[in-house]
């Protein structure tokens, strides 16, 4: 019976290919976080449209979008809804 002996050979080309794939996945993940996820979450927390701020983060920069959202604050509708909710909670607690 003939036994085939296999030997795993470390190939630098395979390693560099895997490293490239890992780096690409990390880059895609960072782009997703900075350009999509974080602006959408900040905008929704401020009562604003996430889509508009994602588009602006591609045009300007995510950092500028974060700064602008911090400066302009909550929308009037969100402030009104928060005030109503707070007053209702206060009435329920009495």
Question: 63-70 — which CB contacts under 8 Å span 24+ positions?
Answer: 65/39, 66/38, 66/39, 66/42, 69/39, 69/42, 69/43
Rounded to an integer, the average pLDDT of 39-64 is: 90
Query: Quick one: 66 exposed, middle or buried, by C-beta within 10 A (0-12, 13-18, 19+)?
Result: middle
| Stated pTM of the model | 0.63
pLDDT at residue number 4 = 63
The pLDDT assigned to 15 comes to 77
DSSP category for residue 3: P
Of residues 93 and 60, more confidence is placed in 60
Q: What pLDDT sits at residue 84?
A: 93
pLDDT at 35: 85
Longest dimension (CA), the chain: 88
């Amino acid at each position: 019976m003939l036994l085939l002996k296999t030997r795993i050979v470390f190939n630098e080309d395979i390693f560099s290919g895997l490293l490239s794939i890992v780096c690409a996945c990390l880059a895609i993940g960072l782009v997703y976080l900075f350009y999509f996820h974080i602006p959408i979450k900040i905008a929704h927390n401020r009562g604003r449209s996430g889509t508009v701020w994602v588009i602006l983060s591609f045009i300007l920069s995510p950092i500028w979008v974060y700064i602008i959202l911090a400066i302009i604050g909550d929308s009037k509708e969100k402030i009104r809804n928060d005030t109503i909710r707070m007053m209702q909670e206060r009435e329920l607690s009495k």
